[in-house]
Amino acid sequence: MTNSQLALYILQSLNMALGAQMQGETSYTNSFDVKVSNEGFYFIPRLPAGYIIDDDLYQKIFLIANASLYPRFNLLKQPSAYFVPLDTDDIHIQRALFFPWKIGISERLVIPDLEAFSTSKSSTIIPIMKNLTVDYEKVTSIAIAGNSGSGKSYALTYFLTMLKPISDLILIDPKFDTPSRWAKQNGIRVIHPEMNRSKSDFVSQINEALSDSLNLIHKRQAILFENPNHKFTHLTIVMDEVLAISEGVNKAIKEAFFSLLAQIALIGRATKVHLLLVSQRFDYNSIPVSVREQLNVLIQIGNINSKTVQFLFPDLNPEGIVIPIGKGTGLIQIIDNEHPYQVLPLLIPTYYTKKGIL
């Protein structure tokens, strides 16, 4: 299908569905036009117009076009109307609403042997889906959120296995569950609750590990001051069920925990110290707002609606996003200078690993 044929198809879809929204105005009355580029399509209103060009119209066009274009294209959801200027002297058509897209739909990776797959890669590139990867050199921190049974532990095991060859790991597991079994299989030390110890004792032990990591950041900063090009080994602090760590502990210890987390999140990137946080939700009770603002790989899996996405994607209305069905599916946003800033449908890779971990 050529670009002109695709533009005509989108026009027909909008003409048939937008009648009530636009008081009967259509492309047949020269009220608007559609043009297609490699990056997306432009809805070009002819002004003055007998309809209001606002966020409501933008989202309505998104709903119609996304369903019409699926699965050849996946429209990238915008938090509000996306206006762009057009290169013309005609004031009537000098602006357009732009709808960026990704060619094709999200496709799941299938990995027969996860351990062999992770050790075979020599770079810091972590595959997420077909045609979607993350460069760990550009990661500040990662968050994985989802309701119970959504596949968080499965996703975490994937990231742990992919990170092991490229990063030192500090593993914190308040449930003494899947991450601890993975750590035992891979010879990684894990901080977990122990019998006859209080919850505050456990969090104090976590604070000691975070304090040591913060001291490491300061030492590395001094090295960078003398040699800005110095290369450090990545260090990733992994916390499963963050909400379970911060709830029900002494106020002073919780404040110290939050303070250490915030400092590491704010200044750790340049020294290659990262956070990988997993929680059912990331509200103000689980992590400080300053930590959430530093996260640049955001993953929400499981049930997707306006309530579940409000903490990781506060400006997102998920209506109209085609999310695959099944475990380990949801949304991902990678905030860097390489990927689209928008949220994408996600399918966590299917993989096979050693028995006894999951």
CATH number at residue 318: 3.40.50.300
Q: Are residues 199 and 314 in the same domain?
A: yes
User: Among 70, 103, 136, where does a domain finish?
Assistant: 103
Is 330 inside a domain boundary?
yes
Q: Work out the angle between the directed axes of helices 251-267 and 199-226 (0-180°, nearest 10).
A: 30
Instruction: For residue range 143-152, list pLDDT tens digits in order.
Output: 999 988 889 9
Is 125's pLDDT higher than 80? yes
357: nearest Cα among 188, 117, 181, 163: 181
Distance between CA atoms of 229 and 294, rounded to whole angstroms?
23
> Nearest 5°: CA angle at 214, between 211 and 217?
155
What pTM did the predictor assign?
Answer: 0.90
DSSP string, 18-63: STTTTTT--GGGTSEEEEE-SSEEEEEE-SS-SS--SHHHHHHHHH
Is 358 inside a domain boundary?
no
The beta strands (E) that lie in 83-205 are given as 83-85, 95-103, 110-111, 125-129, 132-135, 141-146, 167-172, 190-191
User: Among 55, 88, 103, where does a domain finish?
Assistant: 103
Distance between CA atoms of 49 and 51, rounded to whole angstroms?
5
Number of structural domains found in the chain = 2
Q: Are residues 21 and 139 in the same domain?
A: no
- The separation between CA 326 and the C-alpha centre of its own chain, rounded to angstroms, equals 18
* The pLDDT value given to residue 161: 95
Is 1's pLDDT higher than 90? no
Percent of the chain with pLDDT over 90: 71
Is 162 inside a domain boundary?
yes
Instruction: For residue range 258-270, list pLDDT tens digits in order.
Output: 999 999 999 998 9
> Nearest 5°: CA angle at 51, between 47 and 54?
90
255: nearest Cα among 243, 264, 244, 246: 246
Is 232 inside a domain boundary?
yes
* The pLDDT value given to residue 258: 95
Q: Are residues 77 and 168 in the same domain?
A: no
Is 240 inside a domain boundary?
yes
The one-character DSSP state at 133 is E
Containing structural domain, residue 339: 110-351
Distance between CA atoms of 169 and 160, rounded to whole angstroms?
8
Q: Are residues 57 and 131 in the same domain?
A: no
User: Among 103, 135, 159, where does a domain finish?
Assistant: 103
Q: Is 356 exposed, middle or buried (0-12, 13-18, 19+ CB in 10 A)?
A: exposed
Is 132 inside a domain boundary?
yes
| pLDDT class of 63 with cuts at 50, 70, 90 | very high
What's the average model confidence in pLDDT over 92-102?
A: 95
Q: Around 125, how many Cα atoms within 13 Å sit in the side-chain half-sphere? A: 10
Is 341's pLDDT higher than 80? no
Q: Are residues 97 and 119 in the same domain?
A: no
* The pLDDT value given to residue 342: 81
Instruction: For residue range 299-313, list pLDDT tens digits in order.
Output: 999 999 989 999 999
* The pLDDT value given to residue 224: 95
Count Cβ neighbours within 10 Å for each residue of 18-30 and write b for 16 or more, e otherwise.
Answer: beebbeebbbeee
Q: Are residues 162 and 269 in the same domain?
A: yes
3-state helix, strand, coil in the chain (%, to 5): 35, 25, 40
Q: What are phi and psi of 226, to 5 degrees?
A: -85, -35
Q: Are residues 214 and 309 in the same domain?
A: yes
Q: Are residues 221 and 326 in the same domain?
A: yes
Sheet of 273-279, strands arranged across: 190-191, 167-172, 234-239, 273-279, 141-146, 297-301, 329-334, 344-347
Is 357 inside a domain boundary?
no
Is 193 inside a domain boundary?
yes
Q: Are residues 45 and 150 in the same domain?
A: no
* Average pLDDT over all residues of the chain: 91
Instruction: For residue range 277-331, list pLDDT tens digits in order.
Output: 999 999 988 899 999 999 999 999 999 998 999 999 998 888 888 888 878 899 9
DSSP string, 234-252: EEEEEESSHHHHHTTS-HH
Is 196's pLDDT higher than 70? yes
- Residues forming beta bridges with residue 96, ordered by sequence position: 84
* The pLDDT value given to residue 246: 81
Q: Are residues 166 and 250 in the same domain?
A: yes
List all residues 6 or more positions away from 240 whose beta carbon is below 8 Å from its beta carbon. Answer: 153, 156, 172, 173, 174, 175, 177, 178, 179, 278
Q: Are residues 203 and 345 in the same domain?
A: yes
Q: Are residues 39 and 162 in the same domain?
A: no
* The pLDDT value given to residue 20: 65
